[in-house]
Amino acid sequence: MAKQKLIIVIVGGVAGGASAATRARRCNEQADIILLEKDEDVSFANCGMPYHIGGEIPDRSKLLVATKELLERRFRLDVRTQSEAVRIDRQAKNVIVRRVKDGSEYAQPYDKLILSPGAAPFVPTMDGTDAKGVFTLRNIADMDRIRAAVDQAPPTARHAVVIGAGFIGLEMVEQLVGRGFAVSLAELQPQILPPMDPEMVAPLQDDMRSRGVTLELGSGIRGITTDPAGNATGVELLNGKTLAGSLIILGMGVRPNTRLAIEAGLEIGKTGGIATNTYCQSSDPDIYAVGDAAEYLTAPLGQSMRVALAGPANRAGRLAGQHAATGTSAKMAAVLGTAIVRVFEYAVGMTGLSAKAATRAGLRFRCVTVVAGQHAGYFPGATPITLKLIYAADDGRVLGAQAIGKDGVDKRIDVIATAMAFNATVRELAGLDLSYAPPYGSAKDPVHQAAFAACNQLDGLGDLLDPDADLSGYQVVDVRTAAEITKAPLTGCTAVIAIPVDELRERLHELDASQPTVVSCGVGLRGHVAQRILKQHGFASVANLSGGATLRRRAVQ
Amino acid sequence: MAKQKLIIVIVGGVAGGASAATRARRCNEQADIILLEKDEDVSFANCGMPYHIGGEIPDRSKLLVATKELLERRFRLDVRTQSEAVRIDRQAKNVIVRRVKDGSEYAQPYDKLILSPGAAPFVPTMDGTDAKGVFTLRNIADMDRIRAAVDQAPPTARHAVVIGAGFIGLEMVEQLVGRGFAVSLAELQPQILPPMDPEMVAPLQDDMRSRGVTLELGSGIRGITTDPAGNATGVELLNGKTLAGSLIILGMGVRPNTRLAIEAGLEIGKTGGIATNTYCQSSDPDIYAVGDAAEYLTAPLGQSMRVALAGPANRAGRLAGQHAATGTSAKMAAVLGTAIVRVFEYAVGMTGLSAKAATRAGLRFRCVTVVAGQHAGYFPGATPITLKLIYAADDGRVLGAQAIGKDGVDKRIDVIATAMAFNATVRELAGLDLSYAPPYGSAKDPVHQAAFAACNQLDGLGDLLDPDADLSGYQVVDVRTAAEITKAPLTGCTAVIAIPVDELRERLHELDASQPTVVSCGVGLRGHVAQRILKQHGFASVANLSGGATLRRRAVQ
């Protein structure tokens, strides 16, 4: 009996699915590889959709990165669009496929099945979600509808409400402002970008407000209001306010498309995604799961969870495709959840755990935040990056990082994410040999500066106080110049003793060495010098306010 | 008897010296800390000097980052400028200091001595180096002289010659072109930036020529020609050519200032720098050495050598300052020699070993080069980065990387340098969780793409042929479209069989499966697909030309 051809079926083309299919082909020229996609377009750049709506990517076709024709010609894939996988018969190793056009069904045999069903936008149960002008953004058809609505909105009625201040919500705010809309942004949490720590997004919130965006934070949605013709007219909040808008974008997160997996009896993980091992295999070793519907092993907690990001989806798809095609592949590396978003002039990025997440996980951790130029301060165009490092209180292992700034944020987040892949400590970060020339960095990079401060804290050379700490009960010494203090006094603190750091040694007698003392400066550098002076002049307890007056202003509002 | 104060003496303020002094103070408020500097300015941003000459940093004072006054006020340092350390009496623990102004000398006792004497520009023995208009660039006085010469050069006589195509030489070329000079660049090696592999700098060489810079590569210098008044008129090359110019910049590298250390009997390393241990201690544990005159432990070879870069100097200074002041510090991490330079629109960066250096070291290594956008191709402003990865042939350990491009080069070099700090393999690079949003990257970053190709090669899934390989004896298949081939035929290869990758499966009969075969495309991606097809259709030997026609054009000129 002749050896039968291996049949690999892939459900869902976007991101992980197409990666899996093309990698499977490169590893196995003989296999039958079938790509099932319920929509019209088999693969497209979904991360680019907001930018086509906003006109920043004018050419729609640029988003169709891997066309059906290309996949068929180059990779000899059997691409079946408008073909929905509706059931898996694991016993018979069949996928039941429904042709969307006529509803007819057929059984497609498989040897290996790769599920990349993605996720669907969450639409809450409330009034008005089906009104005209209300949109979610998940696929090309959604994008086309929103783009048409934006194009057609009359100059007098360009009011939009975005619900949800996650990545897509913020990108839509930016793009709609660019298209001349007055935009309101409603978010249930008391801050934008809820995975971040609040003080890290404060500058962006201020910037958005300064651009005329209305931020309604910390209130849920009651419903969408409509006119008699069924057009959306605005969003009613639980706090009683109403946000007017005829264009409403729901950016309230996604729910994984796990129905197929659940009905097939595959194991579902704690966060509701399809459970996988390091080869992206589900509880059935002939069925793989990748992308937004799958769970990945994450670091640093070692927990499995859903990660709705394109990078891991692509890498997982590639590995699953190889494993399905050959029976072997590298292991999927632990995912840190590294992410970045551009909103107007700011970039905001993160990797690993926030302080909030570390607290939730019950970890003993410490934080340090520095504000430092993305390149040499003496070189034109220097602009500050605020970089926060979260690390284990005992051994200094890096647990996460967040950064905000106008340039160079992606580099610092990627450097720290890379270090975290090797369980780096802050001591190891401090020794990194990074590239330096005046247009690109500093001899002491912001990553080094943060690591230095963290090492000082671990070594007892520089205790830090969180920017939002309660300063009552402390002797608070502001070591900036009088002019600086007048311009931007220390927030949330009334009794401040002002002594410029350069006069501190001569004016020690103005302070009480027996009092618990906090020093503060602009961003923390001079504070550290002052702290060291006081500490060595016999002050019992001296902490440096992390990030100085700058961070405090963001943390205590 | 009362405990005496610790006396720490630091020789040389630039970079490592000032770092050492300020760190020592922060760690030890009681010590006497004396900073000896033979020049007028104790610390300045020497990396910024070309940009002040060119006018990109108009304000000279911006380069004086740590003034004498600041160091005295804030750090209570005893700063002695125009004070040259001329001898070390290790027995008596004295430094003999000469006052530059009057030549008088005194003995300065020390408990701990930190040497940061830096390096001096190399000036070869040849005619004309002392002519008017001939300059080296090492300190502020040099900068002021060059700037004055540039300012005063009449519009009709703005011809300059830069000798030496290292970092400073290239920065000076850029800045002088910006000031309206016709610039010639002479370099002994047959390429600019000799530490890099030649094909990596080829695009920059082309770009410089297109901007009117005359490149004279691969010829030594006979001497500098002068007129009867002693003004430089040009540079005479050993190949007989003459480069005209009244402004001559010598950028021929530096020689470490080790006289003091040698005369004191301190151990000198193989590369001529002061030998140090991981705490930056010389062979005398009370004497530290940091900066351009010291040797550092480097990775990945584990050799000690001089590294004339500001980043390691700063970190070493900081550690030495702490160790001198407290007897303890972290260890100096191995230095990779990570470096970057901007030249016109290009950034060129490297870390670790080049292929040349790996060959010299006798390592068994392999290379892969990819050409990939710095961010999503569908997002406006995408521009290619050429990224080369050098890795061990056996276990895939990353040995080095080089990159050239107009944007995002620093990030990729820093990510790989960070991974190298943890002895990463290309398999680990492939799994990095890097930040992705369309303005900043791709779901498959250039780092991933390079790592994927390297893993394929290690796994036997994608043999690569070096871009400059001799293709005679191979069946060469160009899998680009006819239009692409016409526009840019494969360099250095006459008998090419053209079959677009998308037609390859149908046209296999046009090829001889028994012949050693090379496939080539634009940058290597389609070549890999074609390679996989041929390999699995029974072709005995199929290699993919690394970087395709693009890299070959740069490698075979």
**Residue B483 corresponds to which tokens in the numbers above?**
């239009």
Q: Which of A347, A422, A440 sits opposite B422 (nearest CB)?
A: A422
pLDDT value for A44: 87
CA distance B299 to B417: 10
Interface subset of B 253-272, CB within 8 angstroms of A: none
Q: Report whether A168 contacts A292 (CB < 8 A).
A: no
CA distance A18 to A71: 9
For chains A and B, what is the number of CB pairs under 8 angstroms?
Answer: 259
CA distance A400 to A354: 6
The sign of the CA dihedral A501, A506, A510, A513 is: positive
Residue B287, SS3?
Answer: strand
Write the DSSP symbol of residue B424: -
> What secondary structure does DSSP assign to A111-131, as a single string?
SEEEE---EEE---SSBTTTS
Indicate the angle between helix axes A548-555 and A198-210, nearest 10 degrees.
80
Q: What is the mean pLDDT of chain B?
A: 96
Write the DSSP symbol of residue B259: H
Q: Which of B314, B337, B432 sits opposite A443 (nearest CB)?
A: B314
pLDDT tens digits, residue range A46-68?
Answer: 899 999 999 999 999 999 888 99
* Torsion angles phi and psi, residue A158, rounded to 5: -100, 75
Q: Which of A377, A415, A433 sits opposite B335 (nearest CB)?
A: A433
What is the third-level CATH fold of A7-120+256-326? FAD/NAD(P)-binding domain (3.50.50)
Is the Cβ of B314 closer than 8 Å to some Cβ of chain A? Answer: yes
Please state the domain extents for chain B: 7-117+256-326, 134-252, 345-458, 464-555
pLDDT tens digits, residue range B209-250?
Answer: 999 999 999 999 999 999 999 999 999 999 999 999 999 999
Q: Report whether B266 contacts B275 (CB < 8 A).
A: yes
Strand-pair partners of A392: A365
Could you check whether A7-120+256-326 and A345-458 share the same CATH topology? yes
Pairwise CB contact (< 8 Å): B337 & A76: no
Phi-psi region of B230 (alpha: psi -120 to 50; beta: other; left: phi over 0): left
Q: Which residue of A has its CA nearest to B401?
A: A435
Pairwise CB contact (< 8 Å): A433 & B505: no
Is the Cβ of A543 closer than 8 Å to some Cβ of chain B? Answer: no
Interface subset of A 36-95, CB within 8 angstroms of B: 45, 47-48, 51, 56-57, 62-63, 65, 70, 73-76
pLDDT tens digits, residue range B404-460?
Answer: 999 999 999 999 999 999 999 999 999 999 999 999 999 999 999 999 999 999 999
A134-249, which class in CATH? alpha beta
Interface subset of B 184-213, CB within 8 angstroms of A: none
Is the Cβ of B315 closer than 8 Å to some Cβ of chain A? Answer: yes
Which of A143, A301, A435, A504 should we substitute to test contact with B (largest number of B Cβ atoms within 10 Å)? A435
**How many Å lie between the alpha carbon of A116 and the closest alpha carbon of chain B?**
16
Which strand ranges, in their side-by-side order, compose the sheet holding B214-217?
B134-135, B247-250, B159-163, B182-187, B214-217
pLDDT value for B43: 83
Pairwise CB contact (< 8 Å): B47 & A444: no
Q: Which of B70, B419, B435 sits opposite A339 (nearest CB)?
A: B435
Q: Which of A29, A415, A452 sits opposite B532 (nearest CB)?
A: A29
Q: What are the Cα distances from residue A13, in Å, to A82, A278, A290, B369?
A: 11, 21, 11, 29
CA nearest B25: which of B384, B325, B355? Answer: B325
Q: Is the pTM higher than 0.90? A: yes
pLDDT value for B1: 43
Q: Kindly provide the ipTM of the predicted complex, given to two decimals.
A: 0.97
Count CB-CB contacts under 10 A for residue A129.
Answer: 16
CA distance A24 to A325: 5
pLDDT value for B3: 60
Cβ contacts (< 8 Å) between B537 and chain A: which residues?
A: 29
Q: Which residue of B has its CA nearest to A316?
A: B431
**How many Å lie between the alpha carbon of A410 and the closest alpha carbon of chain B?**
7
Between the CA atoms of A455, A457, A460 and A461, what dihedral angle is there, to the nearest 10 degrees?
A: 80
Q: Which amino acid is at B11?
A: V
* Mean pLDDT of the B110-119 span: 97
Is the Cβ of B332 closer than 8 Å to some Cβ of chain A? Answer: yes
**How many Å lie between the alpha carbon of B227 and the closest alpha carbon of chain A?**
37
- Strand locations in B198-328 (E): 214-217, 221-226, 232-237, 242-244, 247-250, 254-256, 287-289, 295-297, 304-306
**How many Å lie between the alpha carbon of A529 and the closest alpha carbon of chain B?**
6
Q: Residue B557: pLDDT above 80?
A: no
Q: Which residue of A has its CA nearest to B445?
A: A311
Is the Cβ of B528 closer than 8 Å to some Cβ of chain A? Answer: yes
Is the Cβ of A428 closer than 8 Å to some Cβ of chain B? Answer: yes
Q: Which of A339, A422, A435 sits opposite B414 (nearest CB)?
A: A435
What percentage of chain B carries pLDDT values higher than 90?
Answer: 96
Pairwise CB contact (< 8 Å): A341 & B437: yes
Which of A414, A501, A528 should we substitute to test contact with B (largest number of B Cβ atoms within 10 Å)? A414
CA distance A297 to B57: 48
Q: Which residue of A has its CA nearest to B425?
A: A422
pLDDT value for A1: 44
Q: Report whether B153 contacts B247 (CB < 8 A).
A: yes
Q: Report whether A178 contacts A53 (CB < 8 A).
A: no
Per DSSP bridges, beta strands A398-405 and A516-520 are unpaired
Architecture of domain A345-458: 3-Layer(bba) Sandwich (3.50)
A464-555, which class in CATH? alpha beta
Mean pLDDT in consecutive groups of 10 residues from the start of chain A, 557 residues? 81 90 96 95 90 97 91 96 97 98 98 97 96 96 97 94 97 98 98 97 98 97 97 96 97 96 98 98 98 97 96 97 97 98 98 98 97 95 97 98 98 98 98 97 96 96 94 96 96 92 97 97 96 95 96 91
Give percent helix, percent strand, percent coil of chain B, each to the nearest 5: 30, 30, 40
Is the Cβ of B532 closer than 8 Å to some Cβ of chain A? Answer: yes
pLDDT tens digits, residue range B173-201?
Answer: 999 999 999 999 999 999 999 999 999 99
**CATH code for B134-252?**
3.50.50.60
* pLDDT band at residue B285 using 50, 70 and 90 as cut-offs: very high
Pairwise CB contact (< 8 Å): A417 & B435: yes
Q: Which of A15, A351, A441 sits opposite B443 (nearest CB)?
A: A15
pLDDT tens digits, residue range B10-58?
Answer: 999 887 999 999 999 999 999 999 999 999 888 889 899 999 999 999 9
pLDDT tens digits, residue range B81-101?
Answer: 999 999 999 999 999 999 999
Is the Cβ of B23 closer than 8 Å to some Cβ of chain A? Answer: no
List the Cα angle B345/B347/B352 in 5-degree steps. Answer: 170
CA distance A21 to A114: 9
Interface subset of A 125-144, CB within 8 angstroms of B: none
CATH superfamily of B7-117+256-326: FAD/NAD(P)-binding domain (3.50.50.60)
